[in-house]
């Protein structure tokens, strides 16, 4: 009885190494060669569909953010700008954001959380590419390196994420919901959330780690409920009605409430800190929280070999590093170009801000120096 126990870890390691060699071998003869082979595709078809939905959704979100940013830039150049929420261009960006989030919502219903959540890096890298092409922003060496690392990390994530296919039915969600793992996790999460909320409200702590940790704790409940709601809707569409169960509406309420409070704390963070600080830190915190939630609630890494988990985590690290490099010092470059010449009136130079006021919550606003630039503009007009 002792011999099989000693050889089992070796067998697991050898199986993982075989899978690793197949994933990096293309077009070689054999039934299971490479991640472009038909056998690998059949094995992961439903997950690849979820990956495609998530990537397309994040790219649409990138386009929408840049459209909204361009709308603000366009309105700032007008002598009497109308409110941005009345702009057709800005509203089209909001609609695209809703479309992209719908793609992410559907992706959670057909693929594991640990596979979909890290793909949020595609939104950041896609936004950087689009801003360079259409908004004529500078392309830096760190951007190219960050995009390369993000794409490499995404490749590893797709290949080594847990290959579990679950039909998310109401009974499955109920079973996981009352499991001891989730109950312990929720109790600990509530305790940490209450402690941080006490220091935030009563002690006035507004550090970015405190705010984004509150966002991440709520995000873990969001991804759990989103996958449950999306999975039950998907199963209902195929003919197995799940919308008559009470757990569906419980998860729906949790999803809406956690999203609302996430937005509240995230808006506070964007008001106090620059986007170049908030975006990468929030991506790391959100992704880490979502992965932990997927592991604990849906048990997505159950039975996974150590080497598979290690390569998956390495892919996450590469995507995190790529996001940091893409967003690094980007806000400082915008601050150096706060004014544009709007005309060639003889004897007079008309200057105004490119970005909207710092108290706005829209993408691309100037987080710092709004008052100082406004004062400089007033002094120049008076002179």
Dist CA 64 CA 96 (whole Å): 5
User: Per the domain annotation, does 7 fall within a domain?
Assistant: no
Domain end (from 115, 148, 164)? 164
pTM higher than 0.85? no
Whether residues 141 and 91 share a domain: the answer is: yes
Q: Return the pLDDT at 41.
A: 62
Give percent helix, percent strand, percent coil of the chain, each to the nearest 5. 75, 0, 25
Are 318 and 149 spatial neighbours (Cβ–Cβ below 8 Å)? Answer: yes
Report pLDDT for 86.
Answer: 78
At 351, is the secondary structure helix, strand, or coil? strand
Q: What is the pLDDT of residue 40?
A: 55
The answer for residues whose C-beta is within 8 angstroms of residue 364's C-beta and 6 or more apart is 65, 68, 69, 72, 73, 275, 334, 355
pLDDT under 70: residue ranges of the chain: 1-44, 165, 330-383
Choose the final residue of a domain: 267, 299, 331. 299
Helix (H, G, I), strand (E, B) or coil at 113: helix
The Cα–Cα gap between 221 and 50 comes to 20
Identify the CA nearest to 94 among candidates 122, 63, 121.
63
Q: Do 61 and 124 fall into the same domain?
A: yes
pLDDT recorded at residue 374: 45
57 and 147, same domain (yes or no): yes
Same domain for 186 and 135:
no
- Based on the fold, state whether residues 159 and 249 are members of the same structural domain: no
The per-residue pLDDT for 5 is: 46
Is 79 in the same domain as 141? yes
Residues 185 and 128 in one domain: no
Q: Based on the structure, what is the number of domains in the chain?
A: 2
Q: What residues make up the domain containing 215?
A: 167-299
Rounded to 5 degrees, φ, ψ at 339 are: -125, 150
Determine the Cα–Cα distance for residues 238 and 256; give it in Å rounded to an integer.
Answer: 25
**Same-domain check for residues 217 and 281:** yes
Q: pLDDT value at position 25?
A: 41
- Report the distance separating Cα 278 and Cα 84, nearest Å: 23
Nearest to 254 by CA among 327, 182, 303: 182
Question: Is residue 10 one of the residues assigned to a domain?
Answer: no
Please give the angle made by the CA atoms of 315, 318 and 321, to the nearest 5 degrees: 150
The pLDDT value recorded for residue 93 is 86
Domain boundary among 246, 274, 299: 299
Expressed in angstroms, the distance from the first to the final Cα of the chain is 92
One domain, residues 192 and 275: yes
Same domain, 181 and 120: no
The reply to whether 158 and 241 lie within a common domain is no
Q: Is the dihedral of CA 59, 60, 63, 69 positive or negative?
A: negative
Same domain, 153 and 172: no
């Amino acid at each position: 009885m002792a011999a099989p126990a000693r050889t089992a870890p070796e067998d697991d390691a050898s199986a993982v190494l075989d899978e690793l060699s197949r994933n990096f071998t293309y077009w070689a003869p054999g039934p299971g060669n490479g991640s472009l082979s038909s056998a690998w595709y059949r094995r992961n078809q439903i997950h690849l569909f979820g990956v495609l939905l998530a990537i397309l959704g994040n790219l649409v979100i990138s386009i929408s953010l840049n459209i909204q940013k361009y709308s603000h830039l366009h309105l700032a150049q007008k002598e009497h700008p109308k409110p941005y929420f009345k702009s057709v261009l800005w509203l089209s960006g909001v609609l695209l954001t809703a479309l992209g989030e719908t793609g992410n919502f559907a992706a959670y219903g057909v693929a594991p959380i640990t596979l979909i959540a890290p793909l949020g890096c595609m939104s950041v890298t896609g936004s950087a590419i689009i801003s360079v092409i259409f908004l004529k922003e500078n392309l830096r060496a760190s951007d190219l390196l960050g995009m390369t690392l993000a794409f490499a990390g995404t490749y590893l994530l797709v290949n080594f994420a847990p290959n579990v296919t679950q039909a998310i039915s109401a009974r499955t969600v109920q079973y996981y919901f009352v499991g001891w793992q989730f109950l312990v996790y929720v109790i600990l999460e509530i305790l940490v959330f209450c402690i941080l909320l006490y220091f935030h409200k009563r002690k006035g702590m507004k550090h970015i780690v405190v705010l984004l940790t509150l966002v991440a704790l709520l995000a873990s409940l969001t991804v759990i409920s989103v996958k449950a709601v999306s999975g039950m809707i998907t199963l209902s569409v195929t003919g197995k009605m799940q919308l008559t169960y009470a757990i569906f509406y419980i998860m729906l309420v949790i999803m809406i409430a956690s999203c609302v409070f996430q937005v509240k704390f995230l808006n506070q963070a964007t008001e106090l800190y620059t986007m170049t600080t908030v975006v990468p830190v929030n991506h790391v915190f959100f992704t880490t929280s979502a992965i932990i939630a997927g592991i604990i609630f849906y048990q997505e890494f159950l039975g996974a070999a150590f080497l598979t988990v290690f390569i998956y985590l390495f892919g996450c690290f590469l995507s995190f590093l790529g996001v940091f490099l893409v967003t690094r010092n980007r806000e400082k470059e915008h601050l150096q170009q706060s004014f544009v010449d709007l005309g060639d009136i003889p004897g007079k130079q008309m200057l105004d801000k490119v970005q909207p006021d710092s108290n706005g919550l829209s993408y691309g606003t100037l987080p710092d120096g709004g008052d100082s630039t406004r004062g400089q503009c007033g002094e120049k007009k008076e002179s």
